[in-house]
Amino acid sequence: MARVTMKEARAHRLLTVRKLAELAGVAPATVYHIEHGRTTASFRAIRDISAALDVDPLDIEEFAAVIEGTGAGMGKAVAA
């Protein structure tokens, strides 16, 4: 799978922000802030959201940036 944004992956699965948050066990604000580049995800949020989307974390641009250490805004991670 080519890298996509988290919003694209969520839309592909026809999930709302609230439904993805519910499936991943995170706050809806966490999903919103990651999608809009306001913060980077914690490793726990990456794991849980990736599982809810049924994708490899490295296939999501925002997550790959954190995992590879290239993410903008590093240091403002949101706990799940």
CB 49 within 8 A of CB 12: no
Q: Whole-prediction pTM value?
A: 0.84
pLDDT at 6 over 50: yes
Q: What is 6-78's CATH topology?
A: 434 Repressor (Amino-terminal Domain) (1.10.260)
Q: How confident is the model at residue 78 (pLDDT cuts 50, 70, 90)?
A: very low
**Cα(4)–Cα(58) distance, integer angstroms:** 9
Q: Percent of the chain at pLDDT above 70?
A: 86
Return the domain boundaries, the chain: 6-78
How many CB atoms lie under 10 A from the CB of residue 3?
15
